[in-house]
Structure 1
């Protein structure tokens, strides 16, 4: 708080220090007065002097303790300073050496009076101090003594005012520093509380992150089970039904069912270990898609074509695996629901995107109509969309009854090295 804003507020009153200084100077001045009893120094009888000392001591002790209870200067402060100046004058009348005690009045002015009354207080203390320096009241009886007193008074007043203002500034600077220290302590306490709160929030976030990770892993496993086991089992059932319906092709269909069972088992083990699809081991996405399309076409006796456009490049394993799983699920949906005679797949490499389009000429469906999840399907589109969302991809489906289906998956083209 600036000095201008505190014109009505005095510096903190240190009662113990003021009592120690003032009473110390009063005792010292009393000792000097006793030592000069038999000299030519103007003085009053010792009992009068001691009575004035006792009264002054009582005034100082009682006044300082009373003022220590008040934060704002008021009438009590003015009464105390006036009494102090009057008693100082009385002591100087008893013996001029009590001027040493009168000097302590400057300290009381700083701690008791507001700035508006500062000059008045300084003038009063300077008055009794100059009276002591001129040798007491007897020097005022002639003109020369009065002129000398006036000069000392002005010198004391100017010097005391400058020093008092300086002391007042130092006291206020000290109070500002203490206030800043208090504010810093409060800020540190708040910071410590905030750190404790953040630690609690961090622990809570860790728990939530763990729960989210568990949920994400469950969703991943659900998708893998659908993509791998459901597709494999569907193919196996299809081949077994074909073997029963076509006795002449029985061995071929049984062999295909066995191969599908082995592949599904291997893929299931790989899915549990969160590994990439087997088709991508040692091969890029175009080659893996070609293998999937060729195998699917031979199993279902449906024509399937794959077209690659753009500049082929290796992508992040997560992106390639997601596109491959999307193609597998799309083809599985065609085999289960579409009744199509032809399927076309297009893998397009663009500057910052890679798209996979799957089109069939099958029965189609209404995309706006909710699909019930049953034993025969219904989870496929949701699983594809969820899998693509995890890598910032999108899925668009266009279809209508009797007009086939077009599916388009779009993912960011993040190369294996980390750049598009």
Structure 2
């Protein structure tokens, strides 16, 4: 009972891993961009100091300085250059690289405020640049330092605007204190609210990033599952065709060869009979090949139910090979779904073929038993048997695959000189229409 196993049956290319890797690579740039992009608030922090410094410097050199009639002062240009470098290395680059820390942020704020005060001693137009302190105060941590930064900025800004330091009256001083208090309170509230809401916002952003990562991972897994399902379907179809070829064409060709070999012996009166059998086998094999390609049931099952098809198979096999064979059916016959009937028929067909090829038997018994919940098929012969532990070929493997596919199992019992018994056990599953009629009848 041995035939060469399909060498390529288990060689499955791993398309799933490749397709999931492609999907992951395709999504990586978008994820990287999402991770590196700056929020609108970050962009506002980046651009505001530069914009305010540019406006105040341009206004000073193009309008204030010519209007005052003063000479060009190199010290002002030096302070502007120092302010630009201070903003670049203490503010812009750390924010872009996300390396801004509380202590460096506090040092930058103090230096920024000092530069603003120095510039305002030359011209009040640099009040515009001092406003940048309010924006940077939002970056100071913890939030009380931010409120303190707003207070310091408001004092420097309004002190220069109202010339408090040059000598102020009680009324001017009271107005200054009121403006500073209101301004600090108004902007400080925003810092407090931002400090309280920012952790939740960060958590939401992290959650969104994790969800996006999970979606992309699921997309990769989906691509992998689709590829594996496609490959599994192709493999199953190859297995089906291999079984059908083995159970139809291979067996038919083997029978034709046997009959033609017998005809070539030129035994008087038997040549024409062997040729006629060979022609019948050839026609039957051609018909079965066409039915296999169309995934149809065997020809015998197309005209009758399983017991009658097995009886036709047994009688024809016995006639072709000159070996006594008998079919026995026990229990109450019940209709079965086509998949189960085809599987049992192919098991009987393969078992009889193996008997003819290997067993050298004189008698064969085929038993089909209906037990209510299960259907049993037994094929026994009195041939020479074999060692059950030895390697088996495609025939027995095909049997087991077929029966396993319908929820059953196959057992093979044999020993040298004691014949062979092949037993298949499957669940008795009736066609849907039959089940519905039975339920209606109850």
Equivalent pair of 1:361/1:404 in contact (CA under 8 Å) = yes
List alignment gaps of at least 5 residues for structure 2: 1-41, 95-99, 436-442
Please give the per-residue CA displacement for 1:265-318, whole angstroms capped at 9, x wherever unaligned. Answer: 1221123221432211221111101112233344525151321434410422x4
Match of 2:411 in 1: 396
List alignment gaps of at least 5 residues for structure 1: 1-8, 35-45, 372-377
Does the alignment pair 1:69 with 2:68? no
Equivalent pair of 1:357/1:406 in contact (CA under 8 Å) = yes
1:17-96 → structure 2 map (5 Å cutoff):
17-23=51-57, 30=64, 50=70, 59-70=79-90, 71=94, 72=100, 73=105, 75-88=107-120, 90=121
Equivalent pair of 2:325/2:366 in contact (CA under 8 Å) = no
Match of 1:312 in 2: 334
Distance 1:402 1:320, change over 3 A: same
User: How far apart are the structure 2 equivalents of 1:12 and 1:101?
Assistant: 19
Does the alignment pair 1:16 with 2:50? yes
Equivalent of 1:151 in 170, 174, 177: 174
Instruction: Kindly report the root-mean-square deviation, in angstroms, between the aligned alpha carbons of the 2 structures.
Output: 5.1
1:320-339 → structure 2 map (5 Å cutoff):
320-339=341-360
User: How far apart are the structure 2 equivalents of 1:55 and 1:183?
Assistant: 51
Shift of 1:391: 5.2
Distance 1:151 1:23, change over 3 A: same
Equivalent pair of 1:221/1:272 in contact (CA under 8 Å) = yes
What is the aligned residue count?
Answer: 372
Does the alignment pair 1:224 with 2:245? no
Larger radius of gyration, structure 1 or 2? Answer: 1
User: How far apart are the structure 1 equivalents of 2:60 and 2:261?
Assistant: 117
User: How far apart are the structure 2 equivalents of 1:57 and 1:418?
Assistant: 96
Distance 1:126 1:363, change over 3 A: closer
Shift of 1:335: 3.9
Q: Secondary structure at the match of 2:284?
A: helix
Q: What TM-score do you get using the length of structure 2 for normalisation?
A: 0.63
Q: Secondary structure at the match of 2:89?
A: coil
Equivalent pair of 1:292/1:328 in contact (CA under 8 Å) = yes
Match of 2:132 in 1: 107
Q: What TM-score do you get using the length of structure 1 for normalisation?
A: 0.66
Match of 1:6 in 2: none
Distance 1:138 1:207, change over 3 A: closer
User: How far apart are the structure 1 equivalents of 2:43 and 2:398?
Assistant: 76
Distance 1:128 1:25, change over 3 A: farther
